[in-house]
Amino acid sequence: MSADNLPAEAPVILLIGTVDTKSDEIGFLCERLVQLGARPLVMDVGVLGRGGVQPDITNEQVAAAAGVTLAQIIDSGDENTAMTRMAQGASMLATQLHAQRRFDGLLALGGTMGTDLALDVANALPLGVPKVVLSTIAYSHLIPADRIPPDLMMRLWAGGLYGLNRLCRSALAQAAGAVVGAVQARQIDDDPRPVVGMTSLGSSALSYMKRLKPALEARGYELAVFHTTGMGGRAFEDLAAQGFFAAVMDFSLQELVNHLGGSCVTSGADRLTGAGRAGVPQIVAPGATDMVDYPAWHVPPARWAERNVHAHNRLIASVCIDPAMRREVAQAIGERLAAATGPTCLLLPTQGIEAWDRPGQPLHDPEGLAALIEELPKHLGGGTALVRVDAHINDAAFAEAALVVFDDWRARGLIR
């Protein structure tokens, strides 16, 4: 089948690769996409030559989008600089093309160079756009967690370094099927209810959502709860910054502590900023800010080697931070909330902030909790309301306090 024979409504897949070195592979992918009923839109991000596939978007256009000529990129003589500039141009063009509804999903392929570029492009596209990266370093420790889009699908390009073979063709075909399937399976939901975004660390460490979900639904809202183990926080921040939520209940800030403590379980430096920048009403609590996560197969971070540990499972464990770090966290929370442009309230549960800090539990630390409670009010800006709740964060009284603020803001027209 030729792409010309596809129906006008056929999905379009933005296919990104270096045509100069991957012509055979890109040509094979184009054939597979057409066979699957999709139309390829090829963007060439190579700088060494033309290759055997005619791209829809040339490498000259990609370079121009980055504000340089292809000749200037080649003349730089540095492959890292060259690919970085091409990544800038590719990201800008992909963003523009998506805004113009020129494609429905992204498929990119490459080794370390192509993957580096593909991650930039994938991060430039909104959450929910199907994104598949076929990479020789898929899931490698070379890829920092904060560069992986929270909705990215990645597949190992086994045997794909140079030329087509049976392993390579299998990987290419599956990647094409993955992106076309994702595009075709996208659900367009016309649910009219506004969405409240909420964060939680699972449902055992923090459980307030069990009370708040039915209460919010009874008020006509849909609740979306994000798991704060790195990727969940990134997705939450992305949607909050877009203004997707009617309001947020950001009650699990453990990723912020992880970031400050140097943990790999991070959602990046922007945690607790998206809703504030967008003016989204936010009710915040310092849930689970008493610990730093680390891979359970590693030793605890050296700074807290003598502190108590909770091993959640064979993947993740948490170490209780010291009172000094609690004060650092309090300052960071206050500074982020002070920069918010919308209604902001901090709920401060004075009897505990996650299930494992209750008396008798492994992370019980009255001194650390007292440090947090004492320090937080010192750093709140004038635009942040402070509500002390004489309860544990998992108690019914905490959920009720959150609803009191939410209902007040609704009555005042601050929440749509």
Q: What pairing do the DSSP bridges indicate for beta strands 105-110 and 131-135?
A: parallel
Cα distances (angstroms) measured from residue 136 to each of 33, 51, 183: 21, 21, 24
226 close to 200: Cβ distance less than 8 angstroms = yes
Among 257, 192, 196, which Cα is nearest to 228's?
Answer: 257
Beta bridge partners of 287: 252
In the predicted model, is pLDDT for residue 129 greater than 70? yes
Distance CA 208, CA 396 (A): 8
Q: What pairing do the DSSP bridges indicate for beta strands 291-295 and 316-320?
A: antiparallel
Per DSSP, the residues of 174-199 read HHHHHHHHHHHH-------S-EEEEE
Give the pLDDT confidence of 150-189 residue by residue, as tens digits: 899 999 998 887 889 999 999 999 999 999 999 998 766 6
Q: Chain-centre distance of CA 246, in angstroms? A: 19
In the predicted model, is pLDDT for residue 378 greater than 80? yes
CATH 3.40.50.12020 is right for the domain spanning 3-185: yes
Domain spans of the chain, in order of start: 3-185, 195-411
CATH topology of domain 195-411: Rossmann fold (3.40.50)
252 close to 287: Cβ distance less than 8 angstroms = yes
Handedness of CA 141, 145, 146, 147 (dihedral sign): positive
Distance CA 11, CA 40 (A): 9
- Fold agreement between 3-185 and 195-411: yes
Give the pLDDT confidence of 195-229 residue by residue, as tens digits: 999 999 988 899 999 999 999 999 999 999 999 99
Beta bridge partners of 43: 16, 57
Would you place residue 16 in the very low, low, confident or very high pLDDT band (cuts 50, 70, 90)?
very high
Distance CA 320, CA 58 (A): 53
Three-class SS of residue 287? strand
DSSP state of 57: B
Among 216, 165, 139, which Cα is nearest to 406's?
Answer: 216
Would you place residue 1 in the very low, low, confident or very high pLDDT band (cuts 50, 70, 90)?
low
- In the prediction, which pLDDT does 131 show? 97
Three-class SS of residue 390? coil
In the predicted model, is pLDDT for residue 307 greater than 80? yes
